Structure 1
Amino acid sequence: MNTSVKIVLDSRPMSNGQYSVYLQIIKARQRKKIKIGLKCFKENFENEQFLKAHPNYKEENKILIKRKVKAEDIIRGFQLDDKDFSLEEFEDKFRGKQINRKLVIPFFDEIIDELTTSHRLGNARAYSETKNALLKFSNDKVKFTDITPEFLEKFEVYMRFRGNRDGGIAFKMRELRSLIKKAIQRKIMSKDDYPFDEYKISKLKTKTKKRALTLEDFRKFKNVDLTERPELLEAYHYFMFSFYTRGMNFVDMMKLKKSDIKNNRIIYTRSKTKGNFSLELNAKANEIINYYSDKNQSDYVFPILLHNEMTPLQIENRKHKVLSRFNYKLREIAKIAKIETHLTSYVARHSFATIMKNTGVSTDVISELMGHSNVQITMTYLKEFDNSILDNAVKKLDDI
Structure 2
Amino acid sequence: MATVRTKFRASSSETKEGTLFYQVIHNRVARQINAGYRLYPEEWDAENGKIVFPSGIEETRRDYLVTLINNVQEDTKRLKSVISHLECTGNRYTAEDVVAAYLMPADNSCFISFARNLVDRLAKIGKRCTAETYTTAINSFLRFRNSRDVSWDDMDSDLMTAYETYLKSVGICPNSISFYMRNLRAIYNRAVEKELTVQRFPFKHVYTGIDKTTKRAVPLNVIRQIRNMDLSFCPMMDYSRDVFMFSFYTRGMSFVDMAFLKKKDLQNGILSYRRHKTNMRLFIKWEKPMQDIVDKYDTTGSPYLLPIIKNNGKDERRQYKSEAHLINTYLKRIGERLGLPIPLTTYVARHGWASIAKSKNIPIATISEAMGHDSEMTTRIYLASLDTSVVDKANSIILKSL
* TM-score, length basis structure 1: 0.71
CA deviation after TM superposition for structure 1 residue 171, in Å:
0.5
1:102–1:189 contact (8 Å) kept in structure 2 = no
How far the C-alpha of 1:205 sits from its partner, in A, is 5.8
User: Does the 8 Å contact 2:218/2:348 carry over to 1?
Assistant: yes
Show the counterpart of 1:59: none
**Structure 1 residue 296 displacement after superposition:** 4.9
Opposite residue 327 of structure 1, the aligned amino acid is: N
Which residue type is aligned with residue 259 of structure 1? Answer: K
What one-letter code is carried by the residue in structure 1 that aligns with 2:211? T
Structure with the greater alpha carbon radius of gyration: 1
Partner of 2:400: 398
**For 1:240-263, what per-residue CA distance to the aligned partner results, in whole angstroms no more than 9, with x for missing partners?**
011111111000001100011101
Q: Which runs of 5+ in 2 are unaligned?
A: 1-10, 14-33, 35-99
Q: Which runs of at least 4 in structure 1 moved beyond 6 Å after TM superposition?
A: 93-96
Structure-to-structure mapping, 1:70-89, within 5 angstroms:
none
Q: Which amino acid aligns with 2:183?
A: E
Number of aligned positions between the proteins: 306
Q: 1:168 Cα shift?
A: 1.1
> Aligned pair 1:322/2:323, yes or no?
yes
Give distance in 1, aligned partners of 2:323 and 2:188: 33
User: Is 1:122 matched with 2:129?
Assistant: yes
Q: Is the 8 A contact 2:107 2:114 kept in 1?
A: no
The AA in structure 2 aligned to 1:111 is L
Q: Does 1:276 align with 2:277?
A: no
Tell me the CA shift for residue 290 of structure 1: 1.6
Percent identity reads: 30
Aligned to 2:3: none
CA-CA distance at 1:185 after TM superposition? 0.7
What's 1:174 paired with?
Answer: 182
In the TM superposition, what whole-angstrom CA distance separates every residue of 1:327-385 from its partner, at most 9, and x where no partner exists?
Answer: 11111111223333321111111111111121232223212232112133223212222
Letter in 2 for 1:176: L
- For 1:278-324, what per-residue CA distance to the aligned partner results, in whole angstroms no more than 9, with x for missing partners? 110111011111222x23532111222223323xxx22322221111
Query: 1:222-237 alignment to 2 at 5 Å?
Result: 222-237=227-242
Please state how far the C-alpha of 1:209 moved relative to its aligned partner: 2.2
Distance 1:320 1:337 in 2: 26
Could you tell me which residue of structure 1 aligns to residue 46 of structure 2? none
How far apart in 2 are the matches of 1:326 and 1:96? 38
Alignment of 1:335 onto 2:336:
yes
- Please list, as runs of the form range in 1=range in 2, the aligned pairs for 1:1-400 lying within 5 A after superposition: 97=104, 100-138=107-145, 139-191=147-199, 193-196=200-203, 198-202=204-208, 206-292=211-297, 294-310=298-314, 314-396=315-397, 397-400=399-402
Residues 297 and 307 of structure 1 are in contact (CA less than 8 Å); yes or no, is this contact kept in structure 2? no
2 CA distance for matches of 1:345 and 1:177? 30
TM-superposed deviation, 1:391: 1.2
Q: 1:134 and 1:384, CA in 2 relative to 1: closer, same or farther beyond 3 A?
A: same
Q: Which runs of 5+ in 1 are unaligned?
A: 1-13, 17-36, 38-92
Distance in 2 between the 1:384 and 1:127 partners?
A: 35
AA of the residue aligned to 1:173: M
SS of alignment partner, residue 266 of structure 1: strand
User: Post-superposition shift, 1:388?
Assistant: 1.5
Q: What amino acid is the match of 1:210?
A: K
